[in-house]
C-alpha cells in the first residue's frame, strides 16, 4: 500500500517533546540545508574537533569526466581523536562499548572510553611497529569483538586506510581484496564463534595469503585460543605485542579529504568495487545522522545488530556513536542462538534504548512466534530502526506491536555503502510514520525522481521512477579505489549531473518517499548486497558449467533469494549431487551468503540475436510471473523460454 492512503503512526507527545528534532525544526533545518548548503554544513561540522579549522566548505563537480567531491578540504582532524580522546575529560569512565559475546554463558564486557583509548593506542603502536604508516592499507578480517573496533580506530589514529572484509567471506574473496588495495597487513583472529559454531578465520587467512604478495603480514588476535598454523616469517601474535606496546599514541593530523576507509561492495557488473570514504565529511555526516535519526541522548544504550563488515557497522556501530560519545553495543552472535529470544534478552540485560536491525532478521524471528519476545522486559526500548532492504508491512507491524508495544517509532533508514550515512528516513519526533516508507530526505539531501527513459525529473506528486540525488552531501563516497573512471561511469553517466542510486522510488501524494528496490542487477539477499554477475562468474568458474544467469526472486525470509539458471558443458548430466556440488562451490568461491537457493538446469538461455541474455525474462520466470513476459520477439530462439517455464523450480 505504497501511497498516501497508508495508515500513519504519529510520534507520541513524549517523543516530540524530548526529540532533538520535531516537525517544525525539521522543516526549518531542511530548508536551511538546501538553500544555504554551505552555511548549514559549516555549522554542523563544528560538532567535530578540528586540528586545523577548514575555511572552505565544499568544492563539488558532478559533470561526467571531471567528477570531484571535496568537503572541508583544507581542514585537518583525526577521527580516532574525535571518537575517543575528546570524550576522556567528561566521560572517561563511561562505557563506550558493551560487548555481548556469542554465548550468553560468557560474560559481557564493558569498555570505558579510557580503556578504549589505551587499547586503541596499543593497537596503533603494534601496527606502527609492523611498518604501517599514513596512507597504507590494512585489511580487517575479524569476528565481532572489541579488537575489531580497536583496529578500525587504530588505523584512523595513524592515518592508515582500513578495509574490512566480512568474516563470512571466503579465502578467495579475501585474497581479491588484499590484492585489490595492496594491503600491507591483514588483521584477523584465530576463530570467529557465531551461533555456537566457530569459523576458522586464521586458516581462511592462510589460504588467502598464499595468493598474495609474500610481504603481507598477518596480525592474529586470540579469540578462542583454538589451534592455528603459524608462519614465523609472516604471522604476528597481537596479544603478546599489545601487552608490550605503549598505551600512548599521538593521533596523526589528517587532511579532511584523506581516505579513512575502503569498503568493497557489489555492483551490477564485474567484481566488487572499493568504495572510498574520506575523513572530515564522513565523520561529520555519520555523527549527525546517528544523533538525529536515533534521537540519541546522553545515557542511552544504543544497539545496532549489523556486522562491522558492512557499512552499517562502520557508520552506526563504531564511527557515528563513538563520535557522539555514546554507549554502543557490539554483538558477536546471531538472533537465533541459543534460541529466538536472544536479541530481546540482550535488550533486557543491557537496557537497550535504541535497537537497529534488518528486516530479514525481523521476518525470521516473526516466524518463530511472539512468545520469544514477550518473555523479555523491553520497557527500556524507545526507538526501533531498520536498514538494508524494504520492509514489508507485516514485518513492520509485528516489529511495532510485538517488539515496540506500539510506543516506539520505527526509523526505516534508506542509504547505501556509497552514501556513508542515512539519506532518507522518518525522524522519530518529527514525522508520522507509514509502514514501509523511507519518508523524508535527511538534511542537505535533494532526492529527485527521474523518468528512466528520458532522464527528466518528474515533478509533482505522486511520482515514480529512478532515484537520483541532485547535489552532494559530506558523507558521499569520493571514488572507487584505483578506478575513478568506473566511479564516474557507475554513478554519474546514466543521468548526467546527478548521483544515480540504482534504486527505484515512488513519491506519494503527500510527498513522502518509498524505495521500491534496485533497478539494476544488484540483488539484496537477507540485507546483503550482491551482484548477480559475481555469482555468475563463480558458477562458470566450475568445470562442468558452460553458462549461467543469476536473478533474484521473492523469498519469504531473505527478501530475495538467489535463482540460478545453469547450462552444463555438453556431456555433463544434471543431478541432485551436482546441484549440491555447485552450491558448495559458490559458497567456497564467495562465501555462504552467496549460496544459491534454487538452481534450474537450462538447456539454453534466452538471448537476443546479438547474444545478450534477456534477464528481464529470466527474472519474470523466477518470480513465477509468466503473464508479464513482455516482448520475446527479439529472441534468437524463443522456444528456450517455454522449456524454462515448464521446468521452473519450486512450483
d(CA 351, CA 346): 8
Q: Does 480 bind ligand 6R9 (CB under 6 A)?
A: no
| Residue 208 found at the interface with ligand 6R9 (CB under 6 A) | no
Say how far apart CA 222 and CA 145 lie, in whole Å.
10
Q: How far apart are CA 125 and CA 249, in angstroms?
A: 7
Residue list 217-246, contact with ligand 6R9 (CB under 6 A): none
- Assess 502 for contact with ligand 6R9 (CB under 6 A): yes
- CA distance linking residue 484 with residue 12, whole number of Å: 47
Nearest to 192 by CA among 257, 253, 143: 143
d(CA 475, CA 193): 33
Report residue 610 as a C-alpha cell: 546479438
416 near ligand 6R9, rule: CB under 6 A: yes
> Which residue in the set 413, 479, 532, 567 belongs to the binding site for ligand 6R9 (CB under 6 A)?
413
Nearer to ligand 6R9, 122 or 400 (CB): 400
Q: In this chain, which stretch among 43-51, 61-69, 281-289, 415-423 interacts with ligand 6R9, using CB under 6 A?
A: 415-423
Instruction: Say whether residue 529 binds ligand 6R9 (CB under 6 A).
Output: yes
> Among residues 77 and 361, whose Cβ is nearest to ligand 6R9?
361
Tell me how far, at minimum, the Cβ of 53 lies from ligand 6R9, in Å.
31
Q: Which is nearer to ligand 6R9, 476 or 600 (CB)?
A: 476
Q: Within 13 Å, how many C-alpha atoms sit on residue 367's CB side? A: 10
Work out how close the CB of 421 gets to ligand 6R9 at its nearest, in angstroms, rounded to a whole number. 9
Among 206, 300, 488, 503, the residue binding ligand 6R9 under the rule CB under 6 A is 503
Cell of 613: 541474455
The CA distance from 388 to 315, in Å, is 13
- Kindly tell me the burial class for residue 272, based on how many C-beta atoms sit within 10 Å of its own C-beta (0-12, 13-18, 19 or more): buried
Instruction: Please state, in angstroms and rounded to a whole number, the distance separating the CA atoms of residues 91 and 117.
Output: 12
Among the candidate windows 406-414, 440-448, 468-476, 631-639, which touches ligand 6R9 by CB under 6 A?
Answer: 406-414
Q: Which residue is nearest to ligand 6R9 (CB)?
A: 417
Query: Any alpha helices (H) in 442-509, and if so which ranges?
Result: 484-492
Q: How far is the CB of 388 from ligand 6R9 (least distance, A)?
A: 4
521 in contact with ligand 6R9 (CB under 6 A)? no
Beta carbons of 417 and 265 less than 8 angstroms apart = yes
195 annotated to a ligand binding site: yes
Q: Site map for ligand 6R9, 275-304, x if CB under 6 A? A: ------------------------------
**Out of 33, 312, 476, 567, the residue judged to bind ligand 6R9 by CB under 6 A:** 312
d(CA 396, CA 390): 10
560 binds ligand 6R9 (CB under 6 A): no
Site size toward ligand 6R9, by CB under 6 A: 22
Other CB atoms within 10 A of residue 214 CB? 9
Q: Does 520 bind ligand 6R9 (CB under 6 A)?
A: no
What is the DSSP track for 351-404?
T-SEEEE-HHHHHHHHTT-THHHHTS--TT--EEEEESSPPPHHHHHHIIIIIT
d(CA 422, CA 428): 14
Question: Is residue 545 classed as helix, strand or coil in its secondary structure?
Answer: strand
Which of 415, 487, 495, 585 is in the footprint of ligand 6R9 by CB under 6 A? Answer: 415
Location of C-alpha cell 509485528: 398
Q: Does 163 bind ligand 6R9 (CB under 6 A)?
A: no
Q: How far apart, in Å, are the Cα atoms of 433 and each of 111, 164, 333, 410? A: 35, 34, 30, 7
Which single residue is written with the C-alpha cell 596479544?
239
Quick one: which of 417, 472, 532, 567 contacts ligand 6R9 (CB under 6 A)? 417
C-beta of residue 538 within 8 angstroms of C-beta of residue 548: no
**503 annotated among ligand-binding-site residues:** yes
Q: Which is nearer to ligand 6R9, 102 or 389 (CB)?
A: 389
Residue 641 to residue 618: CA distance in whole angstroms: 9
Of the candidates 95, 265, 490, 567, which one interacts with ligand 6R9 according to CB under 6 A? Answer: 265
Strand duo 354-357 + 383-387: pairing: parallel
519 and 467 Cβ atoms separated by less than 8 Å:
no
Judged by CB under 6 A, the stretch of 29-37, 307-315, 446-454, 621-629 that binds ligand 6R9 is: 307-315
Query: Which of 3, 20, 17 is closest to 427 using CA atoms?
Result: 20
- Is residue 348 within 8 Å of 377, Cβ to Cβ? yes
Q: Is 314 in the site for ligand 6R9 (CB under 6 A)?
A: no
197 is an annotated ligand-binding site residue: yes
Site map 363..402 versus ligand 6R9, x via CB under 6 A: ------------------------xxxx------------
396 is an annotated ligand-binding site residue: no
d(C-alpha 30, C-alpha 443), whole Å:
5
Nearer to ligand 6R9, 376 or 397 (CB): 397
Which residues, 6+ apart, have CB-to-CB distance to 461 below 8 Å?
507, 508, 509, 510, 511
Residues 426-445 that bind ligand 6R9 (CB under 6 A): 438
125, 163, 524, 560: which one binds ligand 6R9 (CB under 6 A) = 524
**Nearer to ligand 6R9 by C-beta: 44 or 560?**
560
Pick from 142, 252, 515, 621 the residue near ligand 6R9 by CB under 6 A: 515
User: Cβ of residue 434: shortest distance to ligand 6R9, in angstroms?
Assistant: 13
| Beta carbon of residue 415, minimum distance to ligand 6R9 (angstroms, whole number) | 5
Binding residues: 194-197, 312, 388-390, 412-417, 503, 518, 526, 529, 540, 542, 545, 587
- Binding positions for Mg(2+) are 540, 542, 545
Binding footprint of ligand 6R9 on the chain (CB under 6 A): 265, 310-312, 387-390, 412-417, 438, 501-503, 515, 518, 524, 529
Which amino acids are annotated as binding site for ATP, given as ranges? 388-390, 412-417, 503, 518, 529
Residues annotated in the binding site for CoA, as ranges? 194-197, 312, 526, 587
Amino acid at each position: 500500500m505504497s501511497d498516501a492512503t497508508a495508515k500513519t503512526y504519529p510520534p507520541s507527545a513524549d517523543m516530540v517533546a524530548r526529540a532533538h528534532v520535531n516537525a517544525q525544526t525539521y522543516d526549518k533545518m531542511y530548508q536551511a540545508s538546501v538553500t544555504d548548503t554551505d552555511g548549514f554544513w559549516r555549522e554542523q561540522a563544528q560538532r567535530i574537533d578540528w586540528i586545523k579549522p577548514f575555511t572552505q566548505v565544499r568544492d563539488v563537480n558532478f559533470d561526467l569526466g571531471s567528477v570531484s567531491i571535496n568537503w572541508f578540504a583544507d581542514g585537518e582532524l583525526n577521527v580516532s581523536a574525535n571518537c575517543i580522546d575528546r570524550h576522556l575529560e567528561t566521560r572517561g569512565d563511561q562505557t563506550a562499548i558493551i560487548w555481548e559475546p556469542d554465548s550468553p554463558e560468557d560474560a559481557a564486557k564493558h569498555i570505558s572510553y579510557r580503556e578504549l583509548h589505551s587499547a586503541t593506542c596499543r593497537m596503533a603502536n603494534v601496527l606502527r611497529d609492523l611498518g604501517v604508516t599514513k596512507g597504507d592499507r590494512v585489511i580487517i578480517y575479524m569476528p565481532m569483538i572489541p579488537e575489531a573496533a580497536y583496529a578500525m580506530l587504530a588505523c584512523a589514529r595513524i592515518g592508515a586506510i582500513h578495509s574490512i572484509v566480512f568474516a563470512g567471506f571466503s579465502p578467495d574473496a579475501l585474497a581479491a581484496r588484499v590484492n585489490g588495495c595492496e594491503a600491507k597487513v591483514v588483521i584477523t583472529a584465530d576463530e570467529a564463534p557465531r551461533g555456537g559454531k566457530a569459523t576458522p578465520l586464521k586458516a581462511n587467512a592462510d589460504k588467502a595469503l598464499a595468493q598474495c604478495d609474500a610481504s603481507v603480514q598477518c596480525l592474529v588476535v586470540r579469540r578462542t585460543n583454538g589451534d592455528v598454523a603459524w608462519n614465523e616469517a609472516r604471522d604476528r601474535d597481537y596479544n603478546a605485542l599489545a601487552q608490550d606496546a605503549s598505551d600512548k599514541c599521538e593521533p596523526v593530523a589528517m587532511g579532511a579529504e584523506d581516505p579513512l576507509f575502503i569498503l568493497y561492495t557489489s555492483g551490477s557488473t564485474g567484481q566488487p568495487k572499493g568504495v572510498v570514504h574520506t575523513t572530515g565529511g564522513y565523520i561529520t555526516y555519520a555523527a549527525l545522522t546517528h544523533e538525529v535519526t536515533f534521537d540519541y541522548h546522553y545515557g542511552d544504550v544504543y544497539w545496532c545488530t549489523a556486522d562491522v563488515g558492512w557499512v552499517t557497522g562502520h557508520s552506526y556501530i563504531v564511527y557515528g556513536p563513538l563520535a557522539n560519545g555514546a554507549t554502543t553495543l557490539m554483538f558477536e552472535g546471531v538472533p537465533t542462538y541459543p534460541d529466538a529470544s536472544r536479541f530481546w534478552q540482550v535488550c533486557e540485560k543491557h537496557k537497550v534504548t535504541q535497537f537497529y536491525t534488518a528486516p530479514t532478521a525481523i521476518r525470521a524471528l516473526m516466524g518463530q512466534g511472539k512468545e520469544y519476545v514477550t518473555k523479555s522486559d523491553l520497557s527500556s526500548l524507545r526507538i526501533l530502526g531498520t536498514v538494508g532492504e524494504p520492509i514489508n508491512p507485516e514485518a513492520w507491524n509485528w516489529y511495532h506491536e510485538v517488539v515496540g508495544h506500539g510506543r516506539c517509532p520505527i526509523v526505516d533508514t534508506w542509504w547505501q555503502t556509497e552514501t556513508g550515512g542515512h539519506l532518507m528516513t522518518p525522524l522519530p519526533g518529527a514525522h508520522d510514520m507509514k509502514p514501509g516508507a523511507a519518508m523524508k530526505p535527511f538534511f542537505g539531501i535533494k532526492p529527485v525522481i527521474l523518468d528512466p527513459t528520458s532522464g527528466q525529473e518528474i515533478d509533482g506528486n505522486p511520482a515514480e521512477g529512478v532515484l537520483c540525488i541532485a547535489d552532494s552531501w559530506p558523507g558521499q563516497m569520493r571514488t572507487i579505489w584505483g578506478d575513478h573512471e568506473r566511479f564516474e561511469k557507475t554513478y554519474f553517466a546514466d543521468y548526467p549531473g546527478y548521483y544515480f542510486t540504482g534504486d527505484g522510488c515512488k513519491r506519494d501524494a503527500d510527498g513522502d518517499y518509498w524505495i521500491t528496490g534496485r533497478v539494476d542487477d544488484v540483488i539484496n539477499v537477507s540485507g546483503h548486497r550482491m551482484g548477480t554477475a559475481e555469482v555468475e562468474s563463480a558458477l562458470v568458474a566450475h568445470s562442468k558449467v558452460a553458462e549461467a544467469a543469476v536473478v533474484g526472486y521473492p523469498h519469504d525470509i531473505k527478501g530475495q533469494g538467489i535463482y540460478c539458471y545453469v547450462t552444463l558443458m555438453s556431456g555433463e548430466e544434471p543431478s541432485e549431487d551436482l546441484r549440491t556440488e555447485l552450491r558448495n562451490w559458490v559458497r567456497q568461491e564467495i562465501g555462504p551468503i552467496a549460496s544459491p537457493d534454487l538452481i534450474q538446469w537450462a538447456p539454453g538461455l534466452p538471448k537476443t540475436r546479438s547474444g545478450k541474455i534477456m534477464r528481464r525474462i529470466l527474472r519474470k520466470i523466477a518470480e513465477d510471473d509468466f503473464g508479464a513476459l513482455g516482448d520475446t520477439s527479439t529472441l534468437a530462439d524463443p522456444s528456450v523460454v517455454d522449456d524454462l517455464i515448464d521446468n521452473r523450480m519450486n512450483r
